[in-house]
Every structure is written in structure tokens, then in C-alpha cells.
Amino acid sequence: MTVLVATDLDRTLIYSAAAAGRPPGELVAVEHLDGRAISYMTAAGLQLLAELAARHVVVPVTTRTPEQLARVRLPGAPPRYAVAANGGAILVDGTPDADWAERVRAVVAAAAPVEEAFAVLEAACHPGTAKPSRTAAGLFCYRVVDRALLPPEALPGLAAWAGPAGWVVSLQGRKLYVVPRELTKSAAVAEVASRAGTTTTLAAGDSLLDIDLLAAADLGVRPGHGEIHDSGWAAPHVSALTSAGIAAGEEILRWFAARAAEAGAGPPSAAGRIVLPTSGFRPVP
């Protein structure tokens, strides 16, 4: 079987200094902005990722825009495929696929316009508690916030607007997102799997925007931190690690390597997923 490894990046594989849980001096910088290191992995994690990419189709899957993703330098050759803008962009050898972009815009046209989402997000956050809202790839909006100063009514108010408008809300670290419901990572990963000819998909993520990715995968894993961990969401085929911070990033890569190596020996289940052993990891009931 050919395995596709679809993995979220921020707070799943790569971490800011604040989120890592280890001193930056013990880590390897994988992203710089204005000459300053802002994202890290461990040296062991980089080696694990390089070995994984040499054997399988590894696809970074992120809510970052293509421009933000381009700042991240992972080991080995650049990936053939990457998914950015929460599924709004499929990058092929670093170039956004125009056909996929057109298909996405047709799908999200049923939701309230992005200009309305921007205005609602602006109104939900008091000016002194957050940086200005931004529109990403013309598809969704986000705002960097101080969680401690975020008004208590902000998230419920956004959620009340989002449901009827065809949007979803996600607070990931310091970023507050409003994203069209039909703009999903899983749809883009399914397209990549079709193009790459893979037969088994493994996935990892930590945020509410990763739930559809995990739910659609043959097997998934999430760290012991993040929105999914806090929400209590679970699925029988998704393993929940107890490790948090950058240590979870290493464990996720070991999980990927073990599950990918075993994929060829596992018969399909009645539901179509591959039945693989999960010894050493705690599955979600």
C-alpha cells in the first residue's frame, strides 16, 4: 500500500518558543521572520521527518497562506504536494493549482461573503485587545488576540453568527479564525491522495479545523494539547497522545512511522479503514 501522511504544522509538528515547552537553545529553528527564528522542531524530530518523507508521501496541511507556509524549511527536498489556506490551496512543487482554486471558490460561494465575516470579526474584538483582522487568500479571516483580554462574549457571538452564515470559528493559540464551513483540509487531502495514487491516509492535527482531516483519514493522531484535546472530541480511529508541546511533535512522527510501516500488513476493516495495531499509544475510546 502507498501511504500519504497528512500533517498539520503549527502546534502539531512545529512550535513557537512559547509553545515548545523547552528552551530554544535545545531546538532547531525551521522558520524565520524578519531575521528572527519563530518556529522550531527538535533535532530528533527533523531526523524522523526526513526518514518518513524518504519512504512515504508527506503532505504539510495548514491554515497558513501559501506565503506563510513558504517560510517553513523542513528537511529533505521540498514536498511534491502541500495544502495551505485550510484546504483553499493545493501547492504542486510550490505552485498553487489554479484548477483547485476555482473549485474551492465555487464551493465556498454558498457561505456569507468574506467581507461580512471580516466585519463580524472586527466587531467581536475590542481594538485594544487584538491586532487588526486579516483576510487570508481571499477566503477566510483571522486575528491575533490576547486570549486573557478577549471579551467573554466574543466567541459565543462569533459562533452565533457563524452557524447560519455557513462559517466556523476556531481559536488556535493566539489566532482567532472564522472560516467557511465548506473550506476543509480533508477535501484538499482527498484530492492530493487521488493525484498521488495513495491508498492509505494517516493524519495529525491539534485544532478544531483539523477535526475533518482526522475524521476522514484511515488513522489519525492528535497531541495532548490544543483545541481537540480541550474539547473532548474523539473517534475510534484517532489516537490521543498524552505528551504535549514539542515532545508531542516527536511522538506524532514516531506514530506516523510505525503506522505507515504496518499499513501494508493490515487488512481493510468493514468500514474501509485499515485495522492496525496501536500498541504504545493510547487510542481514544
* Under 8 Å between Cβ of 165 and 111: yes
Q: Is 51 helix (H, G, I), strand (E, B) or coil?
A: helix
pLDDT in tens, 261-285: 998 644 433 333 333 332 232 223 2
The residue range of the domain holding 239 is 3-104+183-263
The DSSP symbol for 283 reads B
Kindly state whether residue 75 falls inside one of the protein's structural domains: yes
Number of Cβ atoms within 10 Å of the Cβ of 263: 20
Same domain, 82 and 202: yes
pLDDT in tens, 135-158: 999 999 999 998 888 889 999 999
Same domain, 92 and 34: yes
Same domain, 172 and 40: no
Query: What is the distance between the terminal CA atoms of the chain, rounded to a whole angstrom?
Result: 27
* C-alpha cell recorded at residue 251: 511522538
Q: Is the pLDDT of residue 115 over 80?
A: yes
* Under 8 Å between Cβ of 177 and 141: yes
Same domain, 128 and 223: no
Domain finish residue from 147, 180, 213: 180
Domain finish residue from 119, 151, 180: 180
Edge to edge, what strands does the sheet with 89-92 contain?
Answer: 81-84, 89-92, 95-96
Domain finish residue from 119, 150, 180: 180
* Overall pTM surpassing 0.75 (yes/no): yes
169-180 average pLDDT score = 93
* Under 8 Å between Cβ of 40 and 17: yes
Query: Residue 277: what are its φ and ψ, rounded to 5°?
Result: -65, 150
Kindly state whether residue 236 falls inside one of the protein's structural domains: yes
Predicted local confidence at residue 210, as pLDDT: 98
Same domain, 174 and 53: no
- Name the band, by pLDDT with cuts 50, 70 and 90, for residue 246: very high
Q: Is the pLDDT of residue 199 over 80?
A: yes
Q: Is the pLDDT of residue 203 over 80?
A: yes
Same domain, 26 and 78: yes
pLDDT in tens, 8-54: 999 999 999 999 999 999 999 999 999 999 999 999 999 999 999 99
Same domain, 100 and 211: yes
Q: Using alpha carbons, select from 226, 196, 237 the residue that is nearest to residue 9.
A: 226
Kindly state whether residue 278 falls inside one of the protein's structural domains: no
232-253 average pLDDT score = 98
Q: Using alpha carbons, select from 196, 161, 201 the residue that is nearest to residue 181.
A: 161
Same domain, 48 and 133: no
* Under 8 Å between Cβ of 177 and 209: yes
Kindly state whether residue 280 falls inside one of the protein's structural domains: no
* C-alpha cell recorded at residue 98: 489554479
Give the helix/strand (H/E) hosting 237: none
Give the count of domains, the chain: 2
Same domain, 74 and 208: yes
Least confident of 74-78, 107-111, 189-193: 74-78
